[in-house]
Amino acid sequence: MCMPTRSCKLAPFEYYHLYNRGVNHQQTFFDERDFARFIFLILHKQSPTVSTTLISYYIPEFFRQHEWSTTDTTVMKIVGTRAIELVNFCLMDNHFHLTVRELKEGGISKYMQRIGNAYTKYFNIKYRRKGHLFEAPFKAVHVKNNVQLLHLSAYIHRNPREIRGWRGKEKAYPWSSLGDCIEKNRWGRLLSPEVILKQFGKEEKTQCVGYKKFVETSTAKNQRASLLEEHLFDK
C-alpha cells in the first residue's frame, strides 16, 4: 500500500490504483451532472498546463451529444503535455476508482489535487456546504505486475454490480469506462485502455470480446473484505 503522505514514493512510468470516498462515507455524486463533471475533470486535468474553462458549457453539450465538444487541438495539447495517463475509472455514489500511470515526477499528486479542489468547490457551492468532501489524503496502491493490473481493471469495472438493477448490466453503466473498453471509447485519446486491451488480441473486435469475457468471469470483486485488502490478488 502506498499513501502520498507516507515514505512510499509515487514513481514515474509506474501504474497506480487511486481511490477515495466521501467524508464519513457521505454521498459525493447526487445526479448526472455531478458524475459528468467529475469525469470531465479526470479526463481534462491530466495536463497541468492546459486550462479548460467554461466547464458549465461542456456539461450540457455532453448530455446533448453524449461526448465532449472539446476541440481536437485541445485534446492534442492535453495528450502532449499530460503528467499522468488515465487507463480506466468507475464512479459510484460515494467513492471512485481510477487506474493511472504517472508520466512526470509528482504528476499523480498534483493531478489529484487539481481534481479534488475543482470538484469540491463545485459541490460545496451547488449543495451549500463547507469543508472537505473526500477523505484525505486519496489512497494510492502501486500496481506491481501485469496480473495485478488486469485484475484491478476487472475489479474497477465490476463495481456497479453493487448497485441494485445494474448486476449483469455493467457495460451500460455510464459512469464507468467498461463500455469504452468493449464497445466505443467515448473519450478518444483522453482515455488510454490499450495497455489492458492489447493483451486480449491484435484486432479491436477480438480485444473487446476477450476483455468482456475476462471481466464477466473475474472473481476480483469477491475479494473485498475492505478497500485496504483489494490487492490481495497480488501473489
Q: Give me the pLDDT at residue 231, please.
A: 47
pLDDT in tens, 170-211: 999 999 999 999 999 999 999 999 999 999 999 999 999 999
Task: Please list the alpha-helical segments (H only) found in the chain.
Answer: 32-44, 55-65, 72-81, 107-127, 146-157, 178-182, 194-197, 204-217
Q: Is the pLDDT of residue 116 over 90?
A: yes
Q: Give me the pLDDT at residue 136, please.
A: 77
SS3 content of the chain, % helix, strand, coil (to 5): 50, 15, 35
User: In terms of Cα–Cα distance, which of 20, 37, 171, 24 is closest to 98?
Assistant: 20
Q: Which CATH superfamily is domain 15-233 in?
A: Transposase IS200-like (3.30.70.1290)
Q: Give me the pLDDT at residue 234, please.
A: 39
What secondary structure letter does DSSP report for 218? -
Q: Give me the pLDDT at residue 225, please.
A: 37
Going by pLDDT thresholds of 50, 70 and 90, the confidence category of residue 17 is very high
Going by pLDDT thresholds of 50, 70 and 90, the confidence category of residue 220 is low
The residue among 64 and 94 whose pLDDT is bigger is: 94
- Whether the CB-CB separation of 81 and 166 falls below 8 Å is answered with no
What secondary structure letter does DSSP report for 156? H
Contacts with 125 (C-beta within 8 Å, 6 or more apart), sequence order: none
Percent of the chain exceeding pLDDT 70 equals 90
Provide the whole-model pTM.
0.90
Q: Per-domain residue ranges for the chain?
A: 15-233
From the centroid of its chain, how far is CA 192? 11
Q: Is the pLDDT of residue 58 over 90?
A: no
Q: Give me the pLDDT at residue 162, please.
A: 86
Going by pLDDT thresholds of 50, 70 and 90, the confidence category of residue 221 is low
Q: Give me the pLDDT at residue 2, please.
A: 55
Q: Is the pLDDT of residue 33 over 60?
A: yes
- Grid cell locating 128: 451549500
